[in-house]
Amino acid sequence: MRDSMNGVMNFKPIYEPRPDDGLRVMLYSHDSVGLGHLRRNLAIAGSITQSFSEASAMIVTGSPCATQFELPASTDLIKIPSISKDSDGQYVTGSFGGSLETTLRFRSRMILETYRAFSPDLIIVDHQPTGLKGEAMATLKEAKANGTKIFFGMRDVVDSPDVVRRDWDNADCHWALNECYDQICVYGKEEIFDSRVAYDPLLGNVKRCEFIGFIVPSHKVKSKKAGERTKKRVLVTFGGGNDGAQRAEHYLKALTMQRVSWDSHIVTGPMMSLDMVRRLKEMARVVQPPGSVSVKRFHRNLPSLMPQFDAIVSMAGYNSCAEILQSGVPAIFLPRSFPRQEQLIRAVRLAQCGWAITMPQERPDPHCLIEVIDTAINTARKPRPEADLDGLRNLSALVGQHLGIKLEETNGPSTSNTMKTSWDASERRSVL
């Protein structure tokens, strides 16, 4: 049957009794430019399915690179049509075709039908309180009416305070933040960036808002054998790569202007165009000495390689910063300030904490860049436990509290997902 108001199929949901087959968590992941939202939800899904026996997770995302990542155990993924941003920072439809409005309507329907079919005990919404352009509102309203637990997870820095207030100061967001969500989790540390103060009054008076630490999974570190290293090595990475081309070119141009003592390993990110990747490889070939620069588009588990390097040059996306802090490797941040100031704000704050060097200029002086990197590679690495990297552990604990599940925590490193619980179906809807 076609809905005469919006021109889409009006499906009648089919509800079936759900078996007591363990905790079910649905994670909605916003998408546009990078991979941060998806990678966070992949890490959260992995933590939850490892922390609770018989738990399963379903990730809903529009990221065009979603299938390039290995899914955690007991986790599956629903790919909805992609949405990206144009050069002016405006949302546009991806390869799906049609108008942005049509794509959003289709995505909204898919999110809702996934909720109905999966019947989760918990929904975790990432980044936008009502989903991209409000596309998750129908699902949030139905889930709230059904008594489903709902969490909102937000990175430490969303954008400049003025922009966040402009985007979130509306009736739907006020309802979501103040009435819909059972728990709001800030993925960061209050002492680094206090989101409640920065985004007051939107978050300043919201109950159930907690800073839980950075979301960063543990990794099996791949180390080089003794005697295998002959030169210092610098990792240059740009997250998803959609907006890292200019900085990659700038870095390579700096290497052509001054011979350096280290090897460079550039990982562009899977969202950088193939044409640009080829261009960067051509630029790398003229850097002296020959073979001192490698360019690779993607690595499935880049954080596991980070400890092999003597310095890391990166933009200042959330995931990149958290992983670099975990590695303890000296970092140089080249943040972008458009279309959002998120990276710039985070990079400046981390520099003020003494945990990184930040070069906020869009085009930092090449000689200055080389000098800064040369200093960094000769600086002793220092893990940053004070940054609070226990976000996954703390989030799983909150899930257990809200769903009435007792966590039996095993001994192990704080950043590993070692919690296991037993699932009692009778406690599924218990409250704090």
Summarised one tens digit per residue, pLDDT across range 90-128 is 778 777 777 889 999 999 999 999 999 999 999 999 989
Least reliable range by pLDDT among 168-177, 305-314, 321-330, 404-413: 404-413
pLDDT band at 409 (very low <50, low <70, confident <90, very high): low
Task: Kindly give, in sequence order, each residue whose CB lies less than 8 Å from that of residue 142, ignoring residues fewer than 6 positions away.
Answer: 112, 115, 116
Q: Measure the CA–CA gap between 8 and 140, rounded to whole angstroms.
A: 20
Q: Would you list the DSSP string of 155-216?
A: ES--S-HHHHHHHH-SHHHHHIIIII-SEEEEES-TTT--HHHHTTTTTTT-TTEEE-----
pLDDT at 4 over 70: no
pLDDT score recorded for residue 218: 73
pLDDT score recorded for residue 416: 35
Domains of the chain: 24-216+389-427 (3.40.50.2000), 232-386 (3.40.50.2000)
pLDDT at 304 over 80: yes
Phi and psi for 357 in degrees, rounded to 5?
Answer: -105, 130
Query: What number of other Cβ atoms are within 10 A of residue 383's Cβ?
Result: 13
pLDDT score recorded for residue 223: 59
Q: Measure the CA–CA gap between 199 and 217, rounded to whole angstroms.
A: 27
The secondary structure of the chain in percent helix, strand, coil, rounded to multiples of 5, reads 35, 20, 45
pLDDT score recorded for residue 351: 94
Per DSSP, the three-state class of 74 is coil
Burial 252-261 (b: 16+ CB within 10 A, else e): bebbeeeebe
pLDDT band at 334 (very low <50, low <70, confident <90, very high): very high
User: How far does Cα 400 stand from its chain's mean position?
Assistant: 22
Per DSSP, the three-state class of 8 is coil
Global confidence as pTM:
0.85
Bigger pLDDT: 240 or 22? 22
pLDDT score recorded for residue 92: 80
Supply 177's token pair: 């933040």
pLDDT at 396 over 50: yes
Task: Kindly give, in sequence order, each residue whose CB lies less than 8 Å from that of residue 9, ignoring residues fewer than 6 positions away.
Answer: 1, 2, 3, 109
pLDDT at 42 over 80: yes
